[in-house]
Chain A
Amino acid sequence: MQPAANDDRLKQTGDWLDERTGWRGNWTAVFLRKIPKVSWAYTLGSATLFTLVLQFVTGILLTLYYVPEPQQAYASVTYITNELSFGWLIRGIHHWGASAMVLLAILHMVRVIIYGAYKYPREVTWLTGVGLLLLTFAFGFTGYLLPWDQRAYWATVVGTQIGSVPPVVGGFTKDLMLGGPEISGLTLSRFFGAHVWVLPSLLVALVAIHLFLVVRNGITSPPKRDE
């Protein structure tokens, strides 16, 4: 087949799709838009986004084998780590990816603060960003219990204890997290539910808004000294 004909065919399909979805407009708006000249620091946000995707992929793979039951959680994680082929890698990536994501989100935030990128017209972007940071921490906290080993257990003991300190809401927060007077199977199900269903949904929604706003408002240009 001729390359030209090939191009033609592709274009036809593209047109057909565009007529029904209007993708070209979006494509142009999102990818072919012009942005100010930016530095490497601007890659931090997308790097965070990348680790997020990585967490989703590896996290979903982990749920295929992970059992959120006190009796079996540990055994299933041991199985994932020691027996499942490439299980160690998936878990390793998820483990380190979590740290990387927290770190990158914080650095990204520092970048935003240094460049004054939270200012008009990006106040809402900033707010959703703060929400994202909190969600990321929540992911880390809930995920940490899941392996159900000594470190997981005792760190959560301390963590939930800290959660009970705030006046008025403290008792409630703690009950909500523990599902009882102490860490039990119920706690594990709650943490698992939060980690795998609740938090991902919230995160996806918030990231979508965050990115939509980034595209809509455009990325800041690095401010000059007198700006």
Chain B
Amino acid sequence: MKPNERAKYLEDYAESKKKGIPFFPDAIFKDAIAALIVFLVIVSLATFVGASLEAVADPSDAGFTPRPEWYFLFLFQLLKFFPGSLEVVGVFIIPMVALGFLVALPWTDRSARRHWTGRPVVTSITVFLFAGAIFLTVQAITAEPPPTADVASGDQIALLYSANCAGCHGTTISASSGTDLYKVIEGGTHDGMPAWNSDLTSIEIDALVGFILSPSGYTLFVDNCSECHDMQSLAESDSTELRRALDEGPDYAPHATLGLPVWREALTKADQAKLLNFLTAPDGQRLWFQECSACHGQSVAYSGDRKDLEELIRRGGGHLQMPSFGSALSPEEIETLALYVTVPSAAPEGAEMFGRLCTSCHATRVPTAPDLETARQLISLGGSHEDMPVWGDILTDQQIDALVDYVLAAAKLPNLDEAEQLFLQNCAACHGNLGEGGTNPTRAGDIIAPISTAEYLATRDDATLRSIISQGQPNFGMSPFADTFGGPLNSDQVDLLVAYIRSWAEDPPVDLPPDIPIVPQGARTAPALYEALCAQCHGASGEGGIGPAYDAAWQASKTDQQIFDDINLGHAATAMIAWGDLLSSQEIEDMVTYIRTLTGEAGQSAPLTYVSSILPIFDTYCAACHGVLGGWTATSYEDAMTSGDNGPVIIPGDPDSSSLVQSLIGTHPDGLVMPPAVTMSQSDIQKIIDWVAAGAPEG
């Protein structure tokens, strides 16, 4: 504004003021009414809608989908348009530009014009900014739910993505190339993103990486395609079509009238590959589902080497050499078959022929011929028919590599259901259904150690397992299983069994060694120690369990020295740890003597009493606190039976209602869990329950 304009404005303003109204009471009155309306609206919202409160903050529950307050939604939404390294544009540059516009407004708009129609530029920028913010806000509010995967097509990865990632990341994530996505997902490297490794298996994480993977093809996409296409729809179209669009340029029908460049020349070969890799990530599993499973089904079978496979995929239809059936079949037979592959329902008898003649190559998928004549010809003449695209021309090298990797890996994946059947039929009788082992039916007093512990699996390689299964372990009563050694299984079946046993490694069904209970502090007599340490596996009276029974046969098979050594040194890879670390030699000697008194017959143990069985447990686990801290006092029979914050904690004869038992087994109504820091052994808990049930006798 020039000085004269300024002066003129002040003059005009003074004039309009003179004709105006007094602030008090006229304007104030209006203000008061507005304030009242605002107040009423706020109070009714507060009353009828209220301020909600969700569950208390839980940093470990990453499943919660974050939502900012509505006035930040536009920013939140903006973020989604600028993923990855572009983030800074969305959350910083654009908002700063908008803020800059606001701050500088009085100095950028220096004309004397005040009516909005006189300031078209400012008015339109303002409208644009607000419309943008409103648009983004509305978009965020109505945001389409995360993409739901097409479950029918078996695309588990898309499902994983929508369940785990889409809540925060929207429909796509672009990671800057060079990011180790596997690590990011596994470890959850940025705030708010949890480490997924506890929720997802490594295979799932791998698959997600492939799904997300989008190298520098992103920029190419933005520069060349994004004007007309959104990422989602292009990524969903099939790769044959994508390649055609690139190859044919303006000749590609849908692009014909658009005046597009000839992509072949506009983009280098490397760039074309990057772009395609971006749109269809080089992830073998996804490629398989997208490109191959329509014809080859979901399971992958291939036995051959990598080079052949790659050749096969690259040449595609070129490899399909169908024999000519013209001479082998009668004209009627050819007619039936031709009819069957044209209109299957018209020739039901063709099914049997197809099964006999064609399934070895066509598997169960019946090809569809366009018409009878073609079918007739194809069958009689055979030869290569170009059903399978020449993938070498369509997929990028990376994609083919990934596909080959996947097929090879997947083809190796054994059929675990069948393997399980084999295991149950041949092995479970001695090794248990889960490989937990047990007493050895072929050798009295012997025990078969678990073969499904993490330790066992880690210390045997496949070759060792294979040879054990094939040749057996005659010394231990295991006969050879491979047909080459006179057993019932062929080598494929042995391999399957190895794979099955291996499959336990991810999550060993048998956890050993078991929780080692704390060694009783009080009486370290042999019977007390046996109760606390040995009875878990060998039974309270030596009747056996995970460990062998101390029955007559066992007693006869061992010398005292052997028993001493077994206890002192333990058995590698079993629950029998080297107890010498925990017990003194004297204690072990006493233990041997004690074990010699056991007969392995259950049920002969003395009745449970407070003095003999319960007091030591209370002393070990409870008395440290429940003696000095008040509440329940565990130090004498009298106190244990009568004290307690809300009356006695032991109700003789009724363990379920005794709050002592409830707190031990986790059913306490207040969620009380005892003992608080250590785990009491199952046998001790059982003993307390039995004792209470028996009327809680003193002694």
**A positions within 8 Å CB-CB of B:** 30-38, 40, 42-44, 46-47, 50-51, 54, 70, 74, 77-78, 81, 88-89, 91-100, 102-104, 110, 113-116, 118-123, 126-127, 130, 133-134, 137, 140-141, 144, 147-155, 157-162, 164-167, 182-183, 218, 220-221, 223-227
Contacts and interface: CB of A to CB of B under 8 A. Distances in A.
Given A36-B17, A36-B20, A96-B49, A227 B69 contact: no
B145 interface: no
Interface string B48-87: 0111011111110100111111111001100100000001
A119 B16 contact: no
Given A47-B31, A149-B56, A182-B191, A93 B42 contact: yes
B22 A153 contact: no
Given A150-B55, A155-B67, 16 more contacts: A32-B22, A32-B24, A34-B20, A36-B21, A47-B38, A96-B42, A100-B38, A113-B116, A116-B115, A140-B72, A161-B191, A162-B75, A166-B91, A182-B59, A223-B115, A227-B115
B192 A157 contact: yes
A100 B13 CA distance: 32
B18 A34 contact: yes
B122 interface: yes
The prevalent SS among residues of A at the interface is: helix
Contacts of A182: 59, 191
Contacts of B23: 30-35
B225 interface: no
Pairs of residues from A and B, 4 with the lowest C-beta to C-beta distance, nearest first? A92-B46, A153-B57, A95-B51, A223-B114
A81 B70 contact: no
Contact of B79 (A51, A157, A162): A162
A175 B99 CA distance: 23
A207 B49 CA distance: 30
B238 interface: no
Given A33-B23, A34-B22, A50-B35, A116 B42 contact: no
Contacts of A147: 53
A113 B17 contact: no
Contact of A119 (B72, B91, B109): B109
A89 B55 CA distance: 20
A39 to B, nearest CB: 9
The prevalent SS among residues of B at the interface is: helix
B129 to A, nearest CB: 10
Contact of B106 (A115, A119, A151, A159): A119
Contacts of A225: 115, 117-118
B130 A165 contact: no
A167 B126 CA distance: 27
Interface string B13-47: 10011111111100110110111001101110111
A165 B19 contact: no
Interface of B: 1, 6, 9-10, 12-13, 16-24, 27-28, 30-31, 33-35, 38-39, 41-43, 45-47, 49-51, 53-59, 61, 64-72, 75-76, 79, 87-88, 91-92, 99, 102-103, 105-107, 109, 112-119, 122-123, 126, 130, 168, 190-192
Given A140-B71, A155-B68, A166 B88 contact: yes
Contact of A137 (B54, B58, B67, B71): B71
Nearest to B76: A158
B43 A221 contact: no
B64 to A, nearest CB: 5
B68 A144 contact: yes
Contacts of B38: 47, 50-51, 100, 104
Contacts of A30: 23
A161 B47 contact: no
B119 A153 contact: no
Nearest to B14: A218
A157 B60 CA distance: 12
